[in-house]
Amino acid sequence: MRPDLPSPTPPAGRPDTPRTYSVRTYGCQMNVHDSERLTGLLEQAGYVAAADDDGADVVVLNTCAVRENADNKLYGNLGHLAPVKAGRPGMQIAVGGCLAQKDRGEITRRAPWVDVVFGTHNIGSLPVLLERARVQQEAQVEILESLEVFPSTLPTRRESAYSAWVSISVGCNNTCTFCIVPSLRGKEKDRRPGDILAEVEALVAEGVREVTLLGQNVNSYGAEYADRLAFGKLLRSCGDIEGLERVRFTSPHPKDFTDDVIAAMAETPNVMPQLHMPLQSGSDRVLKAMRRSYRQQRYLAIIDRVRSAMPEAAITTDIIVGFPGETEDDFAETLHVVRQARFAGAFTFQYSPRPGTPAAALEEQVPREVVQERYERLVALADDVAWSENKAVVGRTVELMVAQGEGRKDVRTHRLSGRARDNRLVHFTPVDRDGRPVDVRPGDMVEVEVTYAAPHHLVSDAPVRSVRPTGAREEAAVLLGMPTVRA
Ligand code: SF4
């Protein structure tokens, strides 16, 4: 517990028990990363995780502002919490994240039972604001216009012991017309490479085997100190970290995706052959209206170069349907790119106007029923393509990292789950060639042969070929009586 942080006053009537917390996370990986910091901060201040969310002394809502119904979701949740709080004196509610950064004091005006509102630039202030609200019996609203400290310097409590998010930058210098992130998370701020690599080394020393480098636009990493090749160099430096088995990153941006990054991916063994690169639209006219600063041809050319450097790479994307002014011809261009790019998966979204973004003010909003109909056609095509891409993996031997949570046993099939190097989800049966159960744990690396493909996951019902327990070196894999054929 940090001596300089006020220790939270124990709950009424329970003087000897620490106050409990629950952090509810909405939105993107950046929020997941921030929530790991919020839980780390609260635990460092002496709070403990509540056994059940509804019973927590402190409820923290880490909000998202990307989609229109985000507001409805927040005020709906706060409405549900009001009677809970009324029935439990001393309970506190705190609201953080992008919607807090946007709505500020409006939140306590609409929901006066909220105790604390903090922004995306000062998540470190939560424990102090909670105590101040308690002592002064007054709601605390503290929103900063620029970053106080890099969230990565704050204490953390990670969801997984083997995988970790490592933020390399916060904020974004782009101005996509549908996006509110730059106005809520500010201009891009880059961490120094040394700080990032030191954090990764510390994580590996704690047993982490996989890191995901995180930024709104990882490809422009280094812009702040004028090094356009910084991201490619960072990937290569991760390759020198002993014990770091897997490196992933999100989100790249096609306009800044340069060949040095493709080369770094292909030439650095622990950088995974997997790329999640948002397309948003396949139409040049719509990409221009979105202010995405690339066109269809450039996007497909990057995909081709990635594939020629890493033929086994799995590529996924984000696509928005129904952007204002989108015609049937524009939409046909999106379908064309989905066929050409052969995505292993696509996160598809129906456009919804976000107040405060330029696109929300555009005249030609596409009627809902048209957006819905196009959305269904896109999902059907994207699923078809993903399924045929998955079918091409059947018969291949892949190495999985058995992930926490995802690694739990399926009671019906007794299968465990893990992620392949290309981030595909694989459900496998933990038995050896004689049908005996194999002891597999989260974080272990197992080699299995893919025997079946579904649209969004793969299955291996063949005997496990090898197991490499967490912490064991590559060459220590326990072969289970079957020759290993590496993918
Ligand atoms: S790149 Fe565009 S969509 Fe992504 S965070 Fe920046 S402004 Fe938003």
Please state the atom number of ligand 1 nearest to the C-alpha of residue 185. 5
CB of 183 sitting under 6 A from ligand 1 = no
Please state the atom number of ligand 1 nearest to the C-alpha of residue 280. 3
CB of 181 sitting under 6 A from ligand 1 = yes
CB of 98 sitting under 6 A from ligand 1 = no
Q: Ligand 1, atom 1: nearest CA belongs to which residue?
A: 174
At residue 461 the predicted structure's pLDDT band, cuts being 50, 70 and 90, is very high
Candidate of 29, 172, 294, 354 to mutate for ligand 1, largest count of ligand atoms within 8 Å of Cβ = 172
pLDDT of residue 5 exceeding 60: no
* Separation CA 110–CA 113 (nearest Å): 9
For helices 230-238 and 259-267, give the axis angle rounded to 10 degrees.
Answer: 0
Please state the atom number of ligand 1 nearest to the C-alpha of residue 251. 4
- CA-based nearest residue to 165, from 98, 275, 48, 247: 247
CB of 108 sitting under 6 A from ligand 1 = no
Candidate of 30, 173, 174, 281 to mutate for ligand 1, largest count of ligand atoms within 8 Å of Cβ = 174
pLDDT of residue 13 exceeding 80: no
Mean pLDDT is lowest, of 66-75, 191-200, 427-436, for: 66-75
Q: What is the pLDDT of residues 174-186, one digit of tens each?
A: 999 999 888 888 9
Whether the CB-CB separation of 234 and 196 falls below 8 Å is answered with yes
pLDDT score at 405: 60
pLDDT of residue 474 exceeding 60: no
CB of 253 sitting under 6 A from ligand 1 = yes
- Give distance in angstroms: CA of 251 to centre of ligand 1: 9
At residue 151 the predicted structure's pLDDT band, cuts being 50, 70 and 90, is confident
pLDDT of residue 349 exceeding 90: yes
Candidate of 176, 189, 253 to mutate for ligand 1, largest count of ligand atoms within 8 Å of Cβ = 176
- Give distance in angstroms: CA of 69 to centre of ligand 1: 19
**What separation in angstroms does the CA of 144 have from each of 2, 100, 167?**
23, 11, 20
- Give distance in angstroms: CA of 389 to centre of ligand 1: 28
pLDDT score at 1: 43
pLDDT score at 350: 94
Instruction: Spell out the residues 6+ positions from residue 466 whose beta carbon is closer than 8 angstroms to its own.
Output: 446, 447, 477, 478, 479, 480, 482, 484
DSSP lists the bridge partners of residue 213 as: 166, 249
pLDDT score at 40: 96
At residue 108 the predicted structure's pLDDT band, cuts being 50, 70 and 90, is very high
What's the whole-model pTM score? 0.90
In one letter, which amino acid is 263?
A
Query: Where do the domains of the chain lie, and which CATH numbers do they carry?
Result: 20-142 (3.40.50.12160), 158-272 (3.30.750.210), 283-392 (3.30.750.200), 397-479 (2.40.50)
- Give distance in angstroms: CA of 292 to centre of ligand 1: 9
pLDDT of residue 477 exceeding 80: no
CB of 216 sitting under 6 A from ligand 1 = yes
Q: What is the pLDDT of residues 16-74, one digit of tens each?
A: 789 999 999 998 889 999 999 999 999 999 999 998 888 899 999 999 987 557 788 89
Average pLDDT over residues 463-481: 71
Average pLDDT over residues 431-443: 91
pLDDT of residue 234 exceeding 50: yes
pLDDT score at 482: 42
pLDDT of residue 296 exceeding 60: yes
pLDDT of residue 476 exceeding 80: no
Q: What is the pLDDT of residues 314-348, one digit of tens each?
A: 999 999 999 999 999 999 999 999 999 999 999 99
Percent of the chain with pLDDT strictly greater than 70: 91
| Mean pLDDT estimate for the chain | 91
* Separation CA 38–CA 134 (nearest Å): 18
- CA-based nearest residue to 185, from 209, 150, 156: 150
Q: Ligand 1, atom 4: nearest CA belongs to which residue?
A: 216
Q: Report the alpha-carbon angle 220-225-230, nearest 5.
A: 50
CB of 217 sitting under 6 A from ligand 1 = yes
